[in-house]
Structure 1
């Protein structure tokens, strides 16, 4: 589905993102948390990361969340707002603290990496259908959610169920599965995530993530069989690339959102027939990247894909913009990195398959002069 048309709301924005953001403490040097003497402060949060990248890419974005009435909450609101994100609907909680976490400098995919979360009982865990501005959440062309929020508390899960439920005029629902086993208080997390994904219009999930959460093996097509309802399913395959499945015209599942003649999203519903007609799939290989840090790359990919979706670009280009925005995060330290300028990204996304396959990006590539040809960045890996 294409996120076209605006709802008749005075404060309509391109994307609204809901979720917990935390203050992040990054080590001043490599080593165990027990040995690191000092830390630098940053911000982190899957959904607010997406909002910040989209705002930096020229879209209107809003972050809705809940933080403590403390200095860390002040820092989060100011820092996220500094990216151009609307933070006017963030609520402050005088009784609960803002979540924080510490992490080591290593890659999160290695056993040596450490993360220490201090988020239990945080202000964000008190988000509920009654405790947020639902109109502000729905006043966007896209509402971006993730499975992390569902794991924070039963109230947060109720909120996500409310937002993914069939409803006339709801925005396009984007859902990043973001399976985090350590956050779930019981063994029902995978089942909950699958149900929420089935209620969304656009779903992002990693191939390895689907195997860990749902035991699905055999490749992206098997994941699509288990998730036939979303209008668009994006399966990320790490360094290989990503596959997008979309329902072709006339073969949408009952769970997919529909668009009226005026471009307004119409009410979706859960699929009564869980096996719609086969839909086309598009694969795009990932780029060759000189990796600095992997943190935030998944959020950046989602932001790039959403940006191209908002612009109604072809599916191939949506995947390529996802890869390019992820490459910006992979070639910079920290959770957030500035995306490439739109014209620069468009030029790279338009490369033929051979040039795309030989493109290699390293630190600083997003600052390349827009008027220089893409051949400057392309070299044989």
Structure 2
């Protein structure tokens, strides 16, 4: 559950007006695509505008095997963002205020429950889109049917969240069953600087997540459950672009978790898939047939 936007990526600069090709991007739909490619039955619930970008998002996700449970909004447009690559890194600009997905509301949860999912995944991005979207995330976590795991990736974005949302993200993380959080995010949000401090901050009171997965950047990641922890080092990789690697890690981890695999195996698959995405210019690896055609 969450917003997916159209993404404009500039082609090689020239002496004429800039040209762009269109991709898509969204934290939750990135996870959905990776899980669908792993053979899972995956659905994505959101809202899109009745416009060319909304149609593009729906077509791209459907082509990857994700079932799109989309509410089409005839009054609001699909969100849009643009990447600006440079020698100093990639800058991202957003046009999402008042988007169709910002009008997500608690009533959208009914479509999710209709499919009786084993796991519902959303992020702190969705919770910050609007008051109604925040209410939707609360509905997903507070009225979860028995047997459905609630998964939450903090996914802190300074420009979107700001200091006012630190408490909101903490409450949502404590109310989930599975939580992904970067140690750098915890430092920025809650002033927590070490792994033991973060574990105590999120699990030291009720409610608290049953499984906490802490992303530690280039070092690796640690899973914590029932007072025990497991660490997986990050694989060596030449980084092309870091955007989307966290979503890939979450998808790889969840794929093995749904198999009831041991947590070291979940961490290993998460790290492997994140490493693949770190070595690519986009959020999602091309399909095998696309890679063969490019060669």
TM-score greater than 0.5 by the shorter chain: yes
Deviation at 1:339, TM superposition (A): 8.5
Q: 1:223 — aligned with what?
A: 198
Matched, 1:179 2:156: yes
- Superposed CA RMSD in Å reads 2.1
User: How many Å separate the matches in 2 of 1:106 and 1:128?
Assistant: 37
Show the 5 A alignment for 1:191-202.
Answer: 191-202=167-178
Tell me the CA shift for residue 331 of structure 1: 1.5
Q: How far is the alpha carbon of 1:201 from its aligned partner?
A: 0.4
Tell me the secondary structure at the aligned position of residue 73 of structure 1.
Answer: helix
Say how many residue pairs are matched. Answer: 284
> Retained in 1: the 8 A contact 2:84–2:91?
yes
Which whole-Å CA distance do the structure 2 matches of 1:72 and 1:140 have between them? 28
1:337-366: CA deviations, max 9, x gaps?
Answer: 1599xxxxxxxxxxxxxxxxxxxxxxx8xx
Per-residue CA deviation, residues 221-252 of structure 1 (Å, 9 max, x unaligned), is 111101111111000111100000012xxxxx
Distance in 2 (CA, whole Å) between partners of 1:235 and 1:223 is 9
Contact 2:163/2:189, CA 8 A, preserved across alignment: no
Secondary structure of the residue aligned to 2:34 is: helix
Structure 1 residues 281 and 338: alpha-carbon distance in aligned structure 2, compared to 1, 3 A threshold: farther
User: Which of 194, 212, 234 pairs up with 1:233?
Assistant: 212
Establish whether residue 126 from structure 1 lines up as the match of residue 103 from structure 2: yes
Q: What whole-Å deviation, never above 9, does each CA across 1:38-60 have from its counterpart, x for those lacking one?
A: 21110000000000010011111
Go from structure 1 to structure 2 and tell me whether the alpha carbon gap of 1:30 and 1:179 turns closer, same or farther (over 3 Å shift).
farther
Say whether the 8 Å CA contact 2:222–2:229 is kept in structure 1: yes
Shift of 1:295: 1.4
Gaps of 5+ in 1: 1-17, 248-278, 341-363, 365-381
CA distance in 2, matches of 1:138, 1:157: 22
* Bigger share in helix: 2
Larger Rg: 1
More strand by proportion, 1 or 2? Answer: 2
* Residues 1:92 and 2:40 are matched in the alignment: no
For 1:101, the equivalent position in structure 2 comes to 81
Q: Which has the higher contact order (CA 8 A, sep 6+)?
A: 1
2:238 aligned partner:
290
Give the secondary-structure state (helix, strand or coil) at the position aligned to 1:41. strand
Residues 298-350 of structure 1, C-alpha deviations (whole Å, 9 max, x = no match): 0000000000101111111100000001011112221111599xxxxxxxxxx
Match of 2:256 in 1: 308
Partners in 2 of 1:180 and 1:293 — Cα distance? 17
Give unpaired runs (5+ residues) of structure 2.
Answer: none
1:131 CA drift (Å): 4.1
Q: What stretches of structure 1 move > 3 A for 4+ residues in a row?
A: 131-138
Do residues 162 (structure 1) and 145 (structure 2) align?
no
Q: Is 1:243 aligned with 2:222? A: yes
Contact kept? 2:250, 2:270, Cα under 8 Å: yes
Whether the 8 Å contact between 1:51 and 1:61 is mirrored in structure 2 is: yes
**2:120, 2:148 within 8 Å by CA — same for their partners in 1?**
yes
